[in-house]
Structure 1
Amino acid sequence: MAAAMKSTVEWQQGMVFNATSGTGHQVQLDGDKAVGASPMELVLAAAGGCSSVDVVSILEKARQQVTGCRCDVEGERADAVPAVFTKIHLHFVITGHDVAEKHVERAVQLSAEKYCSVAKMLEAAVEITHSYSIEQAD
């Protein structure tokens, strides 16, 4: 049987909701974006977070001296309702000591093609692209 996941989303006031994951972690959502991220912003964050976990994990297994990983995520939305994402681009900025480009390229590719369940789920309806840059750590 497939592993089940749960989340509870509870209305606070206005367009503010509190989401509690099945593991007990909380995040605030706000349809007006005044006190929390919107649900669509969290979709982008989830894609970037899921992919970043993969990339860092793969680079560490390859014994790369990574000191930082940032994923800048941009999404384009449809003009019509529902304003779904039509394109999402993930750009990874990897910082470290003598990090090999071939390992970063491989890590980003493996995340995109095999491991990131959020991106794999979204790619059925969204064009997802990836890029990366490497910065030498101080």
Structure 2
Amino acid sequence: MKKEVTVSWAGKMTFIGEAASGNTLTMDAGKANGGLGLGHSPMDLLLMGAGGCASIDVVMILQKGRQELVDCVCQVSGTRAEEMPKVYTDIHMHFVVSGKDLKEASVKRAVELSMTKYCSASLTLAKAAKLTYDWEVKEA
């Protein structure tokens, strides 16, 4: 399956990304790098994409397991190399899953399935960086 997006320059160091769906987002290098501070950095978007992809999986798996889910938050942190091209060397994903009478084993299974089998964004990044993850369950 081929995916295509378009990235268009909007002046300074600001760019507009557009998906085939027509949805857009603003990317910016930041004021320190000649940008306007109007959007997300491309490197932040890599982390957000992985967090979003994995969270979708976790929610879908828990819903299919009839867990009473109230919230799912994925906190993603990345450590970048000091020298160019400053790639991510380590990425950690921490899932905070809230619900009513959630089973710890169900949350563990959902996170592990996402991170080892389903989340294409995270698994792509794991080919370039050390990817770790954990989770916590909160009663809502």
TM-score w.r.t. the length of structure 1 is 0.96
2:30 maps to which residue?
32
SS of match in other structure, 2:10? strand
- Residues in 2 aligned to 1:128 and 1:24: alpha-carbon distance in whole angstroms: 31
Residue 87 in structure 1 maps to residue 96 in structure 2: no
Residue 52 in structure 1 maps to residue 50 in structure 2: no
1:11 maps to which residue?
9
2:44 maps to which residue?
41
- Aligned pair count? 135
Map Cα deviations across residues 73-118 of structure 1 (whole Å, 9 max, x no partner).
0000000100000000000000110000000000010001100001
Aligned CA-pair RMSD: 0.8
Which structure 1 segments of 5+ residues have no match? Answer: none
- Residues in 1 aligned to 2:56 and 2:132: alpha-carbon distance in whole angstroms: 17
Residue 78 in structure 1 maps to residue 78 in structure 2: no
Offset at residue 13 of structure 1 (A): 1.0
Offset at residue 35 of structure 1 (A): 1.0
Residue 131 in structure 1 maps to residue 134 in structure 2: yes
2:34 maps to which residue?
none
TM-score w.r.t. the length of structure 2 is 0.94
Residue 21 in structure 1 maps to residue 19 in structure 2: yes
Question: Which consecutive aligned stretches of 4+ in structure 1 deviate over 3 angstroms post-superposition?
Answer: none
1:96 maps to which residue?
99
Which structure 2 segments of 5+ residues have no match? Answer: 32-36
- Residues in 2 aligned to 1:40 and 1:125: alpha-carbon distance in whole angstroms: 14
AA at the equivalent of 1:98: D
- Residues in 2 aligned to 1:95 and 1:14: alpha-carbon distance in whole angstroms: 42
Q: Percent identity?
A: 43
AA at the equivalent of 2:130: E
